[in-house]
Structure 1
Amino acid sequence: MAGSQVHQVINGGLLVGIASLALADSLNPATIAVITLILLTVSHRPVGSAITFVLGAMSTVFTLGMVIFLGANAAADAVGEGLIWLRRGVFLIAAIALAVAGLRRFKGRERKGIDLPSWFGVWTAFPLGILVTGADLPNAFPYFIAIERMVAADIDIPVGLFVLAGYALVYCIPCLILLALGLAHGDKVRSRLRKVLDRFSTGTIKRSIPAAIALFVLATAVITIVLWP
């Protein structure tokens, strides 16, 4: 890649777009909920546990992104339609997730309270970060779109890995901010976090036909994009 192309990737619209996708992806309920639970329930080395958890999440985002990015690059080089299939895969994942969410809205259900597993601790926070982040990545549409854009832009592998590392860092920014606020303001922040956690982890999710239909319409629109020649 020429020097001008590298400069464009680092400073141009592509990087701004990927950074925006990373910020959208960072508002991840699963990882934020775990940091909240650490602040509320962990009395022994909460800071170390939270940081270790965040490192696990970051490593998952970077490692899986690297595998997809390198694999997509290889496919695009070997097969002319490799990039097309990557794009279709991204939108197919999004369509499936939307359809499942739509099905769930046809029926009301009780929210299940969430808590940290009994084996959680400073030494097990890292694998928990890997598990939680990995389980939630199928819903991370911005993540896959960002990788698809990087492959489509045909950026060099070292530059792509650098951008993925930045994406992983941005992904964890809300968790780090929440951790910093919890440490700086103590009981005041914990009290508010408890109210928010109770609101979203208890009670009933009511049945909503309009919401279900809207989600199915979105899923259909995404499938249309997948099938579009």
Structure 2
Amino acid sequence: MVARVLSGVVVWTMVSGFTAVEAAASSTHHTADRLRIEDCESCHQFPQTRSHVTGVRPTFEIPAAYPLAPNGELTCLTCHEVTAGAANGSLNIRGGLQGEAFCRSCHASREEEGSRLAHAVRMGAAHRARPLESPNRLSRSPAASLDCQACHDGVIGEGGHWPTQGEIARSGRDLGHPVGIDYPNAQIRSATLTALPLLNPAVGLENGTVGCTSCHDALSRVPKQLVIDNRGSALCLACHRL
């Protein structure tokens, strides 16, 4: 079985499959198979990163508040309640929790100090505490970079990592890539920057600006949690045409 990855900010308002779901639901704890993954995908285009996995069976017990499909798999409806009211927030998250508190509902006992999961949980990577402007993360919240810099300031945690073997090199512990740059305006002024429509979709902008999440993904399995592998400076060259 191939695991399918869908966005952690899956459901705002959907137009496919709701009538059958709402008619069949006898409570807010209806089974998660009544709305298929395909129904979600009919309206929402989900990137393959920055997402919580679905279509897999958990290896540990999930709280009863988050129902699994009859076959034991995680689905969109495990976390998202299609009939939720305003109290659960704009993302229709079950229980109304957001960010790190929501992640810890399932993962608090599983994380290990220094692990990829621990880092993702502490960032609230799949379900950010601050609202996102788009359910598809085409425009990410600039607040994400502020969260990163709370630790990665060159003092508590490294400000950046710049390998030098066959790649564009920089030196220094805290000489990370600048953030907060208005990319569309910068691209107009510089012929060496990739045009916005041609950017690799894995490289996102935070409300139009370059931010930490443009290059990094707390859920990524790529070294240094990059959105794409930087061998041969592939990530750098996604934006910088030298």
User: Whose strand fraction is larger, Structure 1's or Structure 2's?
Assistant: 2
TM over 0.5: no
Q: What is the TM-score with the length of structure 1 in the denominator?
A: 0.23
Q: What is the TM-score with the length of structure 2 in the denominator?
A: 0.22
The one of the two structures with greater contact order (alpha-carbon pairs below 8 A, sep at least 6) is 1
